[in-house]
Chains A and B, each alone.
Chain A
């Protein structure tokens, strides 16, 4: 089979990290080649090099057997390489057509809108997509935006397609349709590099798979000759065992007691509508439910970020209803927000600043007036090591970290007890969402460790598997109410699903 792309000995160093460390990779005609690895394994760096966005420090690139030097995406495009980035690179206020023909050289000065229009519709139909070239990007769904991204590169006659985590924003159905289109493109003889960290997708859509870890290629295999377990093994570097270290909840003191809590949502009506709950020391209370049923508002009320409309919140017996987040922190409440990269860090701040967003106000890190940088740096370095945050240094900007490492940073800040010792209560909202297997496992281990140390934990998740794995009890939430609480012995996916659907989410 003809080789479309060959990368030999690619090395790319960023300050302090070798993102690619001698990578060899090959793409053939007519194949979907999955590039599998955890966040930060170097997959995106590698394809950015192939697309001319980064210059490799060492190594050679061959396209259709010819050695090439890619100075910018322009060079890559002219060689028939196209890339769909993980975050869509579309001009939101422009039309589909304008986005597709952007940078195209074939027109004269004046754009022939009508001709492009017809050709775009025809091309889209070939892959079973119905798209209006005159629609503005902001009017489209995520799946349609992705179709525009693909059309952008197909319209230029790209033969080598790179898709960086294309399914992360898609619904199940949209993913299906994408896979169908990709298979079709492969049948046409195109070569497709499909970056992912989801094992199911590798098995479903790819012909071959290359596994990367820590900037190196571990193995390249025919997909049909491998298994999910084997791939997971290569990806993480050790067997993944979802073992449960069983810790019996120490019977005892109630950490958190919520009585008939009502909390207003962003749109004005109550998102939490009369919730009563209790969490004990050393207990993980899972909260199951389709997201958007009041879970985040409940968590925010407990963390002091949202004032309850009615009801009471008691922490260790003390009434803390309506206290602000600063007071809650002093009471020992740790809050892991949803969407950590948006709500959990200040992206432009350095790692050390982000670690001390809470603790900077308290001794020994500051007196009344001045910050004690010596103490803070010392502690920050300790935390980075302890929580395994992969970062060039504590002075790097938080923005530059991968998703998994951002979450580790947030966990380090919230759980390490730099304010007031081990947290009494941990409120974790979707702490593993968007993380790969290794990072999610780390979060699980950490929650179990704090459970052992006696923290009460509220664990909000959409993932039934992990809820059943970790929780001592599971409360099912829907329409702003708790529909039922199941203990570890009696909870299973079926019962939870039944409780979720028992009462349709209330509107208004």
Chain B
């Protein structure tokens, strides 16, 4: 029984980390008033680039490139949503479409081969056609990883450890520092922030880039750290689950940590229930479970937050311009 719990918990952490990384960045974007609906597309671009670059240059290069790709993609959104003041929903969805299509194209066997040869001409022939890449190694923390049950928290790869640190750090920046205050103010009342000399455009642009970088990283983690086998549409809606996690967390990085593991846990339990034969009726019904939990959680949070006045950032999705 303990082994079963341990394995579920370990898997929960691994799935949850995808959601956590993606939603941490998204929290910053939304706190600044920019809804980055391109999350799914950026994530899969991150996954695709980490796939190609791992084969060519190894893990570190792959992770770095994924982050850069994520930031570049988010710059498209920043350009459209912040500077051109276009509709953020449309711009974000366009970015998702772009990412899904482009990643499929770039990672398709023929194109991939060309890119790989261009990146590293000395790459052995066998790497050119494979669909898999080496998984990120687990780095067990001495002693801590041997504790029963919770030891699995300390038998993870580097990106999971990074996410443990990132959540509290990003919480601290958001609520306890000057840049964090500027960021939150811009998302609530850009005119007020502008009047106090805060550059609304700059803040929103940086926040969007942060969300892009984290989404790229989430994609890299999804591929390298969780399932290092490339297939088109690999993200399978995880970007959208991360978006609902942002709401569930009430735009708070620490709550996102809990929420991410909740969503991760539901997903893992769903797999396990299938193993027990509960999915006999239809596996699709069970597969709905994470989404049902997401909806239920959203409803619960909305009811609670109306009462406590902790809703969405007041200017979320609203473009800002001064001379009007």
Contact = CB atoms under 8 A, between A and B. Distances in A.
Contacts of A101: 178, 181
- Bin the interface of chain A by size: 20 to 34
Interface stretch (A105-113, A255-263, A493-501): A105-113
A362 interface: no
Contacts of A269: none
A90 B176 contact: no
A391 to B, nearest CB: 15
Given A98-B181, A101-B181, A104-B178, A93 B192 contact: no
Given A54-B323, A94-B185, A109 B177 contact: yes
A277 interface: no
Interface in A381-417: 400
Contact of B196 (A53, A77, A93, A107): A77
B198 interface: yes
A102 B322 contact: no
B305 to A, nearest CB: 11
A92 B195 contact: no
A436 B310 CA distance: 39
A72 B196 CA distance: 10
A152 B196 contact: yes
Contacts of A373: none
Nearest to A48: B323
Nearest to B191: A89
Nearest to A105: B178
Contact of A102 (B176, B185, B309): B185
Contacts of A92: 188-189, 314
B178 A109 contact: yes
24 contacts: A53-B323, A72-B197, A73-B197, A74-B199, A89-B192, A91-B185, A91-B188, A91-B189, A91-B193, A93-B310, A101-B181, A102-B181, A102-B192, A102-B193, A102-B196, A102-B198, A103-B182, A105-B178, A109-B177, A110-B178, A111-B177, A111-B178, A136-B309, A138-B309
Nearest to A89: B192
B179 interface: yes
Contact of A85 (B184, B195, B314): B195
B194 interface: yes
Nearest to A110: B177
B202 to A, nearest CB: 11
B192 A90 contact: yes
Interface string B153-188: 000000000000000000000001111011011001
Contacts of A400: 324
A73 B178 contact: no
Interface in B303-318: 309-310, 314
Contacts, number: 78
A115 to B, nearest CB: 13
A107 B178 contact: yes
A83 interface: yes
B177 A102 contact: no
- List the 5 shortest-distance A-B pairs measured between CB atoms, nearest first: A103-B196, A74-B197, A89-B192, A91-B188, A89-B195
Contacts of A102: 181-182, 185, 192-193, 196, 198
Interface of B: 176-179, 181-182, 184-185, 188-189, 191-199, 309-310, 314, 322-324
A20 interface: no
B74 to A, nearest CB: 24
A302 to B, nearest CB: 35
A99 interface: yes
Chain B CB within 10 A, most for which of A85, A94, A101, A108: A94
Chain A CB within 10 A, most for which of B182, B189, B309: B189
A103 B193 CA distance: 7
Given A90-B189, A94-B188, A111-B176, A73 B314 contact: no
Contacts of A98: 181, 185
Contact of A73 (B176, B185, B196): B196
A53 B188 contact: no
Contacts of A111: 176-178, 181
A102 B177 CA distance: 11
B210 to A, nearest CB: 16
Contacts of B192: 89-91, 99, 102
A4 to B, nearest CB: 20
Nearest to B315: A91
B195 A83 contact: yes
B309 A93 contact: yes
Contacts of A51: 195
A89 B178 contact: no
Nearest to A109: B177
Contacts of A138: 309
Nearest to A108: B178
Interface string A30-55: 00000000000000000000010110
Contacts of A136: 309
Contacts of A91: 184-185, 188-189, 192-193
A85 B322 CA distance: 14
A386 B130 CA distance: 78
Contacts of B189: 89-92
B243 to A, nearest CB: 21
A106 to B, nearest CB: 9
Given A54-B323, A103-B182, A77 B197 contact: yes
A93 B197 contact: no
B150 to A, nearest CB: 31
Chain A CB within 10 A, most for which of B181, B194, B196: B196
A138 B314 CA distance: 13
A157 to B, nearest CB: 14
Nearest to B196: A103
Contacts of A105: 178
A99 to B, nearest CB: 7
B314 A93 contact: yes
A67 B310 CA distance: 46
Contacts of A83: 195
Chain B CB within 10 A, most for which of A78, A83, A101, A109: A109
Contacts of A93: 188, 309-310, 314
Interface in A301-317: none
Contacts of A94: 184-185, 188
